Amino acid sequence: MEEDLKFPTVLKNRIELALKSAAYFDKELKGQILAIKESIRSIEEREPHAVGHSEKVAKYARRIAEQLDEKLILEENQMSKENFLKEIFLAGLLHDIGKAGISKQILLKRHPLNESEWEQIKVHPCSAYLLLRMCGERLKDMSLMILHHHERWNGSGYPYGLKGKEIPLGSRVLGIADSYEVMIAGRVYHEKVPPLDAMSEIVTMSIGEDRLYDKDVCRAFLKALKASPLDFSIKKKDEHIELSEELETKLSL
């Protein structure tokens, strides 16, 4: 437990070191990312099923964001698409740093969490937000993306129960990227799902009045998967195309 409590301070120091040596979006970004990845691995190694999770979420999120309309990004985030892509990638890398303070016993529990344990899980986006805000004003947009990445379109998410476009665009992207990766990788509490089944499930949860995800972001997800199937762990050539087209039609109904 003592080791768990030291994690946030260690992470804060590493993140600050990664970001302070150069301008936020300059040529040193690659070095910053490598330093951040090292910090994330120290968390993920406590949860074996999650090793590599943050890097994959970052990759998925960036691919999805590439398919978003520039006008939508400018309207909702007041930033260029280029900067949004960089923000969303780093947000993907850092989205689970708030789990640093959660015990391994909870993270590795195979049975349903009790109310107290679930409340600890629901705090991790807030912990990540506070940690990143300590690192400086320039992380404000990214920290908000992370704070709200478990919010859901119908208001059923956490930590604040935001609905629809109350949820930042970047958080809506991260929400789909995160859910897809968890589905296909599996966790101690559920078996992994084949990528095409996960794709179908994401679309199903993006339809109807009580949907969990933003339809526009889900469309971008399908376009990204169609354009870069290998990046989404779809191995067999063209196996996704027919299903993708079928799901796009379903999403438009």
Contact 223, 203 (CB under 8 A): no
What is the CATH number assigned to the segment(s) 2-252?
1.10.3210.10
> CA 66, CA 70: separation in Å to the nearest integer?
9
Domain edges within the chain? 2-252
DSSP at 99: G
Q: With residue 94 as reference, give the H or E element that holds it.
A: helix 81-94
- Could you tell me which residues come within 8 angstroms of residue 105 by beta carbon, excluding any fewer than 6 positions away? none
Token output for 162: 């935001």
Average pLDDT per consecutive 10 residues, the chain (253 residues; last block may be shorter)? 45 54 46 60 63 88 97 94 92 86 80 88 90 78 95 97 97 98 85 92 95 97 92 76 82 80
Maximum Cα–Cα distance across the chain: 53
pLDDT of residue 23: 39
> CA 106, CA 92: separation in Å to the nearest integer?
22
> CA 34, CA 174: separation in Å to the nearest integer?
20
Contact 203, 165 (CB under 8 A): no
pLDDT of residue 243: 80
pLDDT of residue 99: 82
Tell me the helix, strand and coil percentages in the chain, rounded to 5: 70, 0, 30
pLDDT of residue 197: 93
- Could you tell me which residues come within 8 angstroms of residue 231 by beta carbon, excluding any fewer than 6 positions away? 59, 60, 63, 224
> CA 221, CA 60: separation in Å to the nearest integer?
8
Token output for 22: 């150069």
Contact 61, 173 (CB under 8 A): yes
